[in-house]
Amino acid sequence: DPVALMSSLVLTKAVELTLVKEQNGVQFTSSAIVAPAPTQINSSGEEERETWGKKIDFLLSVIGFAVDLANVWRFPYLCYKNGGGAFLVPYLFFMVIAGMPLFYMELALGQYNREGAAGVWKICPIFKGVGFTVILISLYVGFYYNVIISWALFYLFSSFTSELPWVHCNNTWNSPNCSDWADNSSIGDIYKATPAQEYFERGVLHIQDSNGIDDLGRPRWQLTSCLAVVIVLLYFSLWKGVKTSGKVVWITATMPYVVLTVLLLRGVTLPGAIDGIKAYLSVDFLKLCDAKVWIEAATQICFSLGVGFGVLIAFSSYNKFSNNCYRDAIITSSINSLTSFFSGFVVFSFLGYMSHKHNVALDKVARDGAGLVFVIYPEAIATLPGSSVWAVIFFIMLLTLGIDSAMGGMESVITGLIDEFKCLHKHRELFTLFIVVSTFLISLFCVTNGGMYVFTLLDHFAAGTSILFGVLIEAIGIAWFYGVDRFSDDIEEMIGQRPGLYWRLCWKFVSPCFLLRLAYAITPETEHHLVDNGEVRQFTLQHWLVV
């Protein structure tokens, strides 16, 4: 009906009347029919999903999340400890058969379904619990990961001084056991501690003021203030969604590469640096006969790529539907591994320098974890000319490495819950505030005198076997219940080409087996000490044949 059509047209248009100047006593008005700003609606009648401003925003966000502190403090040490260059064999093997396929799977899953970690399981509702599991794990990790960033911020503020506070033993927090490295006789003495070690443990954490996890004390105002700054940074990076976080990562994801390059150029000029790098790359293929080496390579791949946290699903859900997620998976996972390898040169150039300077074996100074970046590295920097400048540069790198990984974890929680509970869509800013404030309040337990005990508890149990189990069920849910064939059809619909046979085999058989047979995940906790020694009874033929 033309009349009905015209009526509906008029109703959907806005009439704009503009009063123009008076000419010869007569007022002229002009009218125009203008269309209101269109609301993007998809085929199902729902409001169109927000997308990344630029493709590079997505890539930097994924790289920034995957490349975190563990790339600096974990991989180089594992490589050195497990055969040097030979460690790359199992590392790259597991990267190809499990890491990349799982990474590709999560990117494709999020992009096709355009939902967070819980919402994507509309494809197989019985597995929705897996989605809530990974959201909860990301929330748990935020409780202690933000604390690491606050330590880095504390060190950064402490570096703005003519003499770094971890150089000597004459500070109020030092104990009688404090001894400078100059006293070589004390190196092997377990009762001695360096100024840098005591600064971290007694000057920053104040562990000496707590008797255990049952004696936490009040939050320390210095660390609480740093934690509050971190939380504020996270909130204003996330409150508007990917439109804001996509711009923040231009700094946080690229800065570490600039700083790593600068530190490498400085590190290789130091005496003993080449010896450190040689030790990092020295090849010992006999190590490959040790099952523990393969287990550590598999575990490192699983955790370093960041699968199982719901972050990759959340990030890719904001992609355009036709985005080539296959190419993205190859690029970002490769950059992550290359960054880990590259950071090893930076770390071991300074460790070689420390070994040379104090005339001790490299294994006396080589370590992983927080001890590397908050004790050994600061100690090495303190011996350089212009040490305060180098300290500021180094801790800015740690800050940027941590902040975008924390942003990814938070985004997983926010996107996952907002997509599941649609009523939160219109209140993203308030909900984001609620999440970050809740995280801050719980993290306060980690910045007390006994906070290190709570931190260690969360670090060991928040994202260990639970992540492996979550990714295992996720892989089984997609490959076996939803179906590899349907999943491949979905990918073909998005990018125009079907995944090759290799990817389909990995999704259906290899990756689930890889996750299921990781030793720590299938061994009773009472036998974990045997796994550390490479003794895994589940890896023996007798275990499977005995009746």
Q: What is the CA radius of gyration of the chain?
A: 27
- 449 known ligand binder: no
- CB distance 179 to 186 below 8 Å: yes
Task: Give the span between the Cα atoms of 65 and 407, in whole angstroms.
Answer: 8
- 189 known ligand binder: no
Q: What phi, psi does 178 have (nearest 5°)? A: -70, 135
DSSP 101-122: HHHHHHHHHHHHHT--TTGGGG
- 457 known ligand binder: no
Task: Give the span between the Cα atoms of 436 and 245, in whole angstroms.
Answer: 15
Q: Could you tell me which of 287, 332, 367 has the C-alpha nearest to residue 95?
A: 332
CA dihedral sign of residues 75, 76, 78, 84: positive
DSSP structure class, residue 317: T
- 217 known ligand binder: no
Q: Could you tell me which of 114, 121, 118 has the C-alpha nearest to residue 135?
A: 118
- CB distance 127 to 121 below 8 Å: yes
Which residues lie closer than 8 Å to 127 by C-beta, 6 or more apart?
Answer: 121, 473, 474, 477, 481
- 372 known ligand binder: no
Task: Give the span between the Cα atoms of 297 and 292, in whole angstroms.
Answer: 9
- 304 known ligand binder: yes
- 305 known ligand binder: no
* Amino acid, single-letter form, for residue 536: V
DSSP structure class, residue 166: T
- 71 known ligand binder: yes
> Which pair of tokens denotes residue 229?
């700054």
- Among all chains, which residue has been given the structure tokens 């906790």? 525
- 113 known ligand binder: no
Task: Give the span between the Cα atoms of 84 and 348, in whole angstroms.
Answer: 12
Which residues lie closer than 8 Å to 344 by C-beta, 6 or more apart?
Answer: 75, 76, 79, 80, 280
DSSP structure class, residue 499: P
* Amino acid, single-letter form, for residue 116: G
> Which pair of tokens denotes residue 497?
């080409």
CA dihedral sign of residues 404, 410, 414, 417: positive
> Which pair of tokens denotes residue 178?
């404090």
Indicate the annotated binding residues for Na(+). 64, 66-67, 71, 304, 336, 401, 404-405
Annotated binding site: 64, 66-67, 71, 304, 336, 401, 404-405
